[in-house]
Amino acid sequence: MCGKLFVIFVLAATSLLVVLLGLNTVTSRQRQYQWDRIRKDVASLPQLDRERIHQRAERLAKALTIQTISWERDVFETEALLQLHQHLKKSFPLVHSSPSIEVTVINGYSLLYKVRGSNNEDKGDNVLPPYMLAAHLDVVPVANGTWKIAQPFEGRIIDDVIYGRGALDDKSSVMPLPTDNDSMRALPSKCFRRAFRERHSGEFWKMATGIMEALEFLVENKYSFQRTFYIGFGHDEEVSGFEGAGHIAKHLKSTGVNHLDFVLDEGYFVLEDMVEGVDDLVSVIGVTEKGFATLELNVEMSPGHSSIPPKETAIGVLAKAVSALETNPHPSMFGNGPEMDFFSYISTSANIGHSVIFSNLWLLSPLLSQILARNPVTDAIQRTTTAVTIIQGGYKHNVIPGSASATVNHRIHPADSLDQVIEYNNQVINDPRVHIKVVDYYPPTPISPYGPDVSPFNLIASSVKQIYPTSVIAPACSPANTDLRRYVELSDHLYRITPTVLTPVTRGGIHGDDEQITVEHYHNFIRFYVALMLNADQPVGGHSASLHKREL
């Protein structure tokens, strides 16, 4: 009798759970997020023409020929940066001659544009706060392979496809990408670095040209901006952003700008066929980025001769420590950052099987976490990652060295901290002979508020939807680092998106060979910034800028 009751209870509980999962899935798929920060008078506003689509593409192609490489901190191609300044002036004459636009050279090589709107401080409480669009002018050398269709800095257009390093500018994409800066530092001279450049090119500044094309278009059409905004182009993003974005932030503060409504920088893409279980485009907006920590592991032991080796050597102890770190990844932080909301947002467009999981993360998040852990790319979303990048030890074949060291690079999840990372490493290594030293550290950026009721996020999402109406909006954490962190004291709303379509085919060109963007996608890229500048002039109305993610 008791056995029958137990079976009945299990069947009833299972049925109830299935019904509950089904109801949640149906409710989730019917959810409609209101991205409504689009100008009501959009039909009467300037719309980017298609007649000059190839002319704009040619300007980008020309930009791709300028080799503004940052080699390391304080070592960059100054002549190329100045050449880039001149190219901007020549390409966008109306912007640089407009009486309502002020251009300031910051710290010699960065650029800050101030576009003065008519809705100024004299309006009192009704003034629209300024915002900033950010990009960078420098590129980073990257190794591996040879280009087959065009050379990295050739800037060619073939069959309506633009080829060149920087055609797809991406540092916070769907996967963390190494920059090989340590290889650059190892090069003995600037002369040798110049020779190295021919095969090892870097990213470029499509973001900058797209923003400038949009601004030039609106100035040409005599659009009267209501809202003051800034455009900041740093010159050393690839090697920290201290001298570029850092000085732009200082300059803004020195001129009385202590608050920006939001700052938008490069980041994730509009993804096509890249999110499993979702057929629609997925427009990913980065709301935070991981921290960065470089640690050095050191082991000091007695040196000796290889003919009489001890039971343990410094190299052996260090090898065990490295193996322990690689076989014991940091714990999953799934649900403590925006990654859970990413899947909740895309559940509305996922196929039924994936939608059941994405809609019921209250129960199935451990399952999804395990699925993510199977692939290093998706696993990086949910935890602090560990990469051993340099090992140093012996110096002669018959001498046992007295010391050995390893460099470990961590990308720190927003819910993690440096102290927690070091504590976990010590627990995993479990050997007091291994000493950990912090070489470099940047904390994760704060998670910016997001959702339909967060005005700046809604504004960006609405502008994306205006260009890609079938796409689904989703917040995420960027695994890579940008110089956007230099503006944390100026705004609580720091966002990242590169508003062009990325496919499995074009993803291969990021930091790789034959980087490309179609002329049509670049056209939509510019259209996004036109839409954003126009939509930003619309009064906020009832939207709150303070509502955070979990209040949706």
Largest CA distance in the chain: 90
Asked about 296 being catalytic, the answer comes back as no
Sign of CA dihedral 146, 152, 158, 159: positive
Give every CB contact of residue 381 below 8 A, 6+ residues apart in sequence.
Answer: 339, 342, 372, 476, 477, 479
User: Would you call 73 helix, strand, or coil by DSSP?
Assistant: coil
For 332, the token pair is: 């999953």
For 252, the token pair is: 């803004």
In the set 77, 169, 236, 237, the catalytic residue is 237
CB 462 within 8 A of CB 38: yes
Query: CA gyration radius for the chain?
Result: 26
Asked about 237 being catalytic, the answer comes back as yes
Tally the residues of the chain.
552
Buried b / exposed e along 485-518 (16+ C-beta atoms within 10 A): bbbeebbbbbbbbbbbbbeeebbebbbebbbbbb
d(CA 205, CA 486): 19
Phi, psi of 507 (to 5 degrees): -60, -30
In the set 138, 236, 243, 515, the catalytic residue is 138
Give every CB contact of residue 162 below 8 A, 6+ residues apart in sequence.
Answer: 57, 60, 61, 64, 155, 156, 516, 517, 518, 519, 522
DSSP 153-189: TT-EEETTEEESTTTT--SSSSS-----HHHHHHSS-
Give how far Cα 300 sits from Cα of 401, 434, 439, 520, Å. 9, 8, 18, 59
Give every CB contact of residue 295 below 8 A, 6+ residues apart in sequence.
Answer: 407, 408, 409, 410, 422, 425, 436, 437, 438, 439
Active site residues: 138, 237
